[in-house]
Amino acid sequence: MAGGPSTVIDRLSADMEWVRVRMHRSPDGDFLTYLQLLRDKKLKVLGVLDSDALPDSAPPPSYFEPYYDLVTALEIGNEPDITSPSSWTLTPLAWYNLVRDVVSAGGKSFTYVGGGFASGNPTFRSLSKAAQYLDAITIHPYGKLPKGWTGVTDWGLGDLEGLVNLYRPFKMPIWVSEFGAPQNETGVE
């Protein structure tokens, strides 16, 4: 990254409140320094625990210790409900076990959010027993258009509100942690 992480962080908008960051399997000094720079800017960090960040099973409590003062919330999983190159596809039971084990290992130091859902898959939505461990859920409504959208609509793949409503049965806050138009639908490279 040209200029280093502090240069990039200095360019962040003063209006920003949260930054989403992929967690590392083994945090090194550079990554921890980056997280500290974000905290110094008074930004809250949503750390994504995906297949690159976690070992084959839930990590031991010692995995979380370096992050206690640097990460505000942990997103457990990344699009476990779909299959794509950037997703960590899991069965509903595997995702539930991961949520339970991460929250158990991480303790009370974080806000826990369930993992970047993209499909509206009712199998994951009906797995309400995971809700006991979570403070919120995150969704990735790629290609979904908000109600009343008057901009370009040739890439719209459905209704944003419709997707959000599919996750309301969790009865918890719903965060959008990724958003945008799919590249292959817009002609954007």
Q: In whole angstroms, what is the distance from residue 18 CA to residue 44 CA? A: 5
Per-residue model confidence as pLDDT tens digits over 32-64: 999 999 999 899 999 999 888 886 667 788 888
End-to-end CA distance of the chain: 21
Instruction: Name the nearest CA neighbour of 17 among 53, 50, 54, 45.
Output: 45
Please report, rounded to a whole number, the percentage of residues in the chain having pLDDT higher than 90: 23
The band of 1, judged by pLDDT with boundaries at 50, 70 and 90, is: very low
Cβ distance 183 to 172 under 8 Å?
Answer: no
| Residue 103 or residue 87, greater confidence | 103
Instruction: Name the nearest CA neighbour of 119 among 93, 146, 90.
Output: 90
Give the H or E element holding residue 138.
strand 136-139
